[in-house]
Chains A and B, each alone.
Chain A
Amino acid sequence: MKRYLAIIVAAILLMTVWSSAFAVYDPETDGVSVWDGEITTITVTDRLPGIQLENNPILKELERRIGVRLEISVLDAAQYNSLIASQIAAGDIPDMFYLWDNSSNVNFQKWAQEGLIWNLEELEDKIPNAFTWLNANDLAYGRVPSLDNGLYGLPRMQQLTPDAIPYRGDWLKKLGLEIPVTPEDLFEYCVAVSTQDPDGNGIDDTWGLFITQLGDKGGGLIDKNIREGFGIEPETVAYKVIPAQEGFMELMDFYHDLYAAGGIYPEFYLESDIYADQEAFRAGKVGTMFKTTSLDHTMPYRSNAAEAFYQNNPDGEVVAGYPLQPNGTTAADADSYFHYITMSCWGVFCISKAASEEAVDAACRFLNFGCTEEGVHLLTNGIEGINYKSWDPVLRTKVAFTQAEKEEPGHEERLINAISYLCVQQSWANYGKLTFGGNTPEEKAEYMRRYNELNHGYIVYDNIDTYPGYADLKTKNAELTTKLNDEMMVQYIVGGITREEFTDWLYNVYCPAWEEVEDIVTAVRGPKE
């Protein structure tokens, strides 16, 4: 009896081994291409906050499709650029790495000049998709102008989404106000939120605004959502850096007055977490946040963020406002105003010159795959049935699992999210949106309503970071920028220094150091009309 049993077990084992050893990919059944060569492992360093890498089905699928196994080192997201610089300085150079910054990153320039990373144009035959997927403006983010304008990093382009400022719709109703359109409206709303207890808890614990990350452009105080209300234009339009423009002091005065009127959380300067404003908004403590926020941030379906908001504010409502217009205008004038929006590049991928030939080939396969519809879909959305329920390629709608479905026993893999910063591209070619929001038809309809309402009057402009000479100027003035952001602006807003002290430093020290900007922009765009 035992002998028969042993023979049966052996036969089953043999058949299993046989079938797996000679298994042939059948495109008819799988529907996707599968790698039939050797699997190459490459080392990769990336910024992947909160991503489970072990047993990640997306990485396994990637291996199956393109034969690349990624051995990933994850560095702390908040200090990514300095940590990768330290890693490389220590001689531990990964085959491929992500740099969380665009071409103006000082180290990126230096690494290219020292021959540490590949000029990707030399590898064009291995990553042809990148050169068709991205246009010349996109590729500019990966170029090093001082080095024959070579392409040393593959830019990771994000989808264009209308800028929008989220406000508390329920508070606006309580306070009898409309969605702010101008700086004056915003001022009134912020002061009302700070002084009229809109959450009705009887405690003085709400504020109009919570400022976190500061920055001379792009983020924080001078965010693109607010600066146009003060007539501030991008550097490539104004031919000046933002602090040298007339509207800058008007903007600073706005903050100074708003702070004095109690409209800003008084100890904002103690906060080092760059996302503290979003957390405070979700916690129901502040009336708005405008730092690099887009329409997506105003949508109720935004998974964890929305859940956190509605848990804290079950009766709350978030509404979307258009970027600010100058004082004296109204919402009806919106069509007369436009808003500057730039292509959004979130970092570049670099390939090390120290990598072996096989590793370079594998890295190129990965980047090339990431610039295809198949690759973008896999890396950003994941796998149907595992990372999401279903995908409608026409409507570009992804139906996600609900939290309850994610937590169903036996479906732990549903809790694994897509791999964020490892996505080579986060937009379809020509910046088409990857997904239109919403997990249900109702949510999608609401998103489309807001999208159509806001998606007008945008002008896509050049980012000065891509202009030759700007990176060097930025490096030269790094300490001045730090002083402006980390000290002078905050000091003036809270009244630590007088307006005279601030403008004296601004116009006699800071602005003269940036005068070259006019030449840099003129060299590319010609003299200002």
Chain B
Amino acid sequence: MPVMMIVKQPRTIREKLLNLIVYIIKKRYLYLMCIPGLVYLAIFSYVPMYGVIIAFKDFSYTKGIMASKWIGFQYFGKVFATSDFFDTFRNSVLLSLLRLCINMPVPIILALLVNEIGSTAFKRIGQTVMYLPHFISWVAIGGITLTFLSETDGLVNIVIKRATGHTIPFLSSAGMFRGLIVGTTIWKEAGWGTIIYLASLSAINLELYEAATVDGANRFQKVWHISLPGIASVISIQLILQCGNIMNNGFEQIYMFQNPLNIRSSEVFETYIYKIGLLNTDFSYSTAVGLFKSIVNIILVIIANRGARLLGQATFY
């Protein structure tokens, strides 16, 4: 019996290119909408990236970035030889891990709670109130926090002193610094962070909840078995993004709360780079530190992405 074999012809590069062009033309409006974003990304993220080469150069003011002399990995050697570097590394990682473990779940819990609110008017007002702190700058929040937590005349310490007879050094204790950062981050960003989860929750089919109600599920069971699995892919993506930021703690917030008494806990890469790069104007060295930080972040993103894929969750690629 003759067997008919269908042999798939290998597609040439030319054919692939043509197919791609046809596809792009077909979806042209979507691609047009991408252009501003791509241009923005290219101008502000990719073009300035050439500047990282000064980490491998002895930067000269007169010669500029391109013409300065190549010195290889000399500054990276200096990075690892500095005792402050390892303290900074430890502080950065510890603070980020705390943020990952504490600050990340808070918006999820808050979004699940808001989602359970029945009254639409109350829900909308509540959401608006939650978003507001996001729009206050860290400088203002720093001032507010100092006013409230000061040991001399801060409201919180006045109350504590009247109750216990002593004050708590929230602002000047190295041991309390991380708690201060985590707490103020929650206050400022937890509400804003719910947006993405609320959007995701609103996409869950309501029939699932109705079916669960018919089956006798209580509120907690509905949250556990429907809401949480419904936003699991978003949580996964957020986790990967957070992993990519594990060495980033932001500059303004840390700098606002940093003082000589908590510096052993508060020196992170951002403040360290600011001091050596801008204040001491050691541009090459600070770029080397920054580049090291970025490379670690990229590695962490890759690991987190691979981990999420192994667990069957949504991934970037």
Contact = CB atoms under 8 A, between A and B. Distances in A.
Interface of A: 79, 81-82, 85-86, 88-89, 91, 106-107, 110-111, 114-116, 205, 265-267, 269-270, 478-479, 482, 486-487, 489-491, 494, 496
B150 A267 contact: yes
Given A491-B260, A491-B261, A269 B172 contact: yes
A89 B61 contact: yes
B61 A88 contact: yes
Interface in B268-285: 275, 278-281, 283
Given A85-B278, A267-B150, 19 more contacts: A79-B279, A86-B278, A89-B61, A89-B281, A91-B64, A106-B280, A107-B61, A110-B61, A111-B61, A114-B62, A114-B63, A267-B151, A267-B171, A270-B150, A479-B84, A486-B263, A489-B260, A490-B261, A494-B172
Contacts of A496: 261
Contact of A487 (B62, B152, B263): B263
Nearest to A488: B260
Contact of A106 (B84, B150, B171, B281): B281
Contacts of B281: 81-82, 85-86, 89, 106-107
A277 to B, nearest CB: 15
A496 B174 CA distance: 10
A270 B280 contact: no
Given A82-B281, A116-B61, A266 B260 contact: no
A95 to B, nearest CB: 16
A126 to B, nearest CB: 23
A89 B284 CA distance: 11
Interface residues of B, number: 26
B202 interface: no
B221 interface: no
B146 interface: yes
B62 A267 contact: no
A269 B259 contact: yes
Contact of A116 (B62, B152, B172): B62
A115 B172 CA distance: 46
Nearest to A114: B62
**DSSP class of A's interface residues: helix, strand, loop or mixed?**
helix
A203 to B, nearest CB: 10
Q: What 9 pairs across the A-B complex have the smallest Cβ distances?
A: A490-B260, A85-B281, A114-B62, A82-B278, A269-B259, A116-B62, A487-B260, A269-B260, A486-B260
A114 B69 CA distance: 13
B60 interface: yes
Nearest to A88: B61
Interface string B248-272: 0000000000011101100000000
A114 B259 CA distance: 36
A267 B172 contact: yes
B59 interface: yes
A490 B264 CA distance: 13
B41 to A, nearest CB: 22
10 contacts: A79-B279, A86-B281, A89-B59, A89-B281, A110-B61, A116-B61, A265-B152, A269-B259, A478-B280, A491-B261
Contacts of B84: 479
B62 A270 contact: no
A482 B61 CA distance: 25
Interface string B171-193: 11000000000000000000000
B278 A270 contact: no
Contacts of A111: 61
A512 to B, nearest CB: 16
B148 to A, nearest CB: 13
Given A88-B61, A89-B59, A89-B61, A269 B261 contact: yes
Given A267-B151, A490-B260, A496-B261, A114 B61 contact: yes
Contacts of B171: 267, 270
Nearest to B54: A89
- Most B C-beta atoms less than 10 A away, residue of A266, A267, A269: A267
B26 to A, nearest CB: 44
Contact of B279 (A82, A115, A489): A82
A215 to B, nearest CB: 13
- Most B C-beta atoms less than 10 A away, residue of A85, A111, A114, A270: A270
B23 to A, nearest CB: 42
Interface in B186-241: none
Nearest to B280: A478
- Most A C-beta atoms less than 10 A away, residue of B146, B151, B172, B264: B172
B173 to A, nearest CB: 9
B121 to A, nearest CB: 42
B65 to A, nearest CB: 9
A494 B174 CA distance: 14
A106 B172 CA distance: 32
A115 to B, nearest CB: 6
- Most A C-beta atoms less than 10 A away, residue of B62, B150, B153, B260: B260
B260 A114 contact: no
A270 B63 CA distance: 41
A478 B281 CA distance: 12
A85 B281 CA distance: 7
A288 B255 CA distance: 29
Interface in B141-170: 146, 150-153
B68 to A, nearest CB: 10
Contacts of A91: 64
A482 B59 contact: no
Contacts of B60: 114
B172 to A, nearest CB: 7
A114 B146 CA distance: 45
Contacts of A205: 153
A270 B283 contact: no
A270 B172 contact: yes
A294 B1 CA distance: 111
Contacts of B82: 479
Contacts of A479: 82, 84
A486 B146 CA distance: 19
A270 B59 CA distance: 35
Contact of B275 (A270, A482, A489): A482
A513 to B, nearest CB: 14
Contacts of A88: 61
Contacts of B260: 269, 486-487, 489-491
Contacts of A85: 278, 281
Contacts of B64: 91
A34 to B, nearest CB: 38
Contacts of A267: 150-152, 171-172
A471 to B, nearest CB: 13
A490 B84 CA distance: 19
B61 A270 contact: no
A140 to B, nearest CB: 23
Contacts of B172: 267, 269-270, 494
A79 B277 CA distance: 13
B151 A266 contact: yes
